[in-house]
Chain A
């Protein structure tokens, strides 16, 4: 069954600290993996997108990694800021005629001052 599992469900860290969010998937055939940031009451905004051949992608203080062999991805946030408080959603796309998309349930990140 095609699934995307994210951990932890929620995370609380102090401002300025680093953190890493995890995404494990059992999706095949794999097309690409995206990380989205969703602020409360808003739609998700794309942070990174990686295809099978890419194992790291950065967007400012956000760095995503992908291990296609173990089917794991991580999103590392450096020097967290209060504005990083949001839900982070991992999304995996299947490579098939229907271009199906599987969403993780997200990790809720709280940054404390």
Chain B
């Protein structure tokens, strides 16, 4: 089986812009979670989707949003980018909401 894929792998944006990141889970996995990783804070949970429904949401402002499609692929959107949004954004998929998570390689977002 192919692993979790994320596109793009690298992205440079300027403050105020918006960005959309994409995640394709492992075939058969219906749960997709998104995380933000920064050197100072480590991994922080953004949100989780299962069967196109958001099940969980972390403590991030409303500028961060996501969605999941019927084929389980997921997108994450960040509007009005701030310098502090520079981070590695990781997506993880699992068969169920409590199953083992498999991470993608991440998207490195740099906001200038």
* A binding-site residues for B, Cβ under 8 Å: 31, 34, 36, 41-46, 49, 89, 93, 98-101, 103-106
Contacts and interface: CB of A to CB of B under 8 A. Distances in A.
B42 A44 contact: no
Contacts of A42: 105-106
B110 interface: no
A64 B92 CA distance: 22
Contact of B90 (A44, A98, A99, A104): A44
B29 to A, nearest CB: 14
Contacts, number: 46
A99 B97 contact: yes
B19 to A, nearest CB: 19
A45 B100 contact: no
Interface of B: 4, 33, 35, 41-45, 55-56, 90, 92, 97-98, 100-106, 108
Contact of A100 (B41, B56, B102): B56
A58 B20 CA distance: 39
Which of A31, A36, A101, A105 has the most C-beta atoms of chain B within 10 angstroms of its own C-beta?
A101
B43 A103 contact: yes
B105 A43 contact: yes
A106 B98 CA distance: 22
B42 A31 contact: no
15 contacts: A31-B98, A34-B100, A41-B106, A43-B92, A43-B103, A43-B104, A43-B106, A44-B90, A89-B42, A98-B55, A99-B55, A99-B97, A103-B43, A103-B45, A105-B41
